[in-house]
Amino acid sequence: MTENGKHMSCQEFQKQLPDLIGSGMNISGHPHMQECELCRALVAELETIAEAARQLFPIEVEPPDDLWEQIETAIRKEDKAEPAARKEDQTVEIGKKTRS
């Protein structure tokens, strides 16, 4: 009589652990987790480490490819905005012309 997943050794369970985590399955629902306090503690520790890693390294560590394009566009927009400040000089010149 072989019960799948039940009464497996800690070594067997821990060997499967990376696959179980990778598959996104709820590990705490695993039969071995129900009966083995040692592996419950181990998985809890792994989850704490994984959670800490997620906080240290957010999912998108590398900026998206178009980020630099967006920065470039923003810089160019600022360059274009500058000549608008010269309007004041033009109005002064127009004022001079109407005076003479």
Which residues in this chain contact Zn ion in the complex, by CB under 5 A? 10, 36, 38-39
Instruction: Please state, as a whole number, how many other Cβ atoms lie within 10 Å of the Cβ of residue 30.
Output: 21
What are the angstrom distances between the C-alpha of 100 and each of 50, 88, 94?
78, 19, 10
Q: Rg for the chain (alpha carbons), in Å?
A: 32
Q: CB nearer to Zn ion: give 28 or 73.
A: 28
| Least distance to Zn ion, CB of residue 11, Å | 8
Q: CB nearer to Zn ion: give 11 or 55.
A: 11
Q: CB nearer to Zn ion: give 37 or 86.
A: 37
**Which spans in the chain are helix H?**
10-22, 31-35, 37-56, 67-81, 87-99
| Least distance to Zn ion, CB of residue 10, Å | 3
| Least distance to Zn ion, CB of residue 41, Å | 9
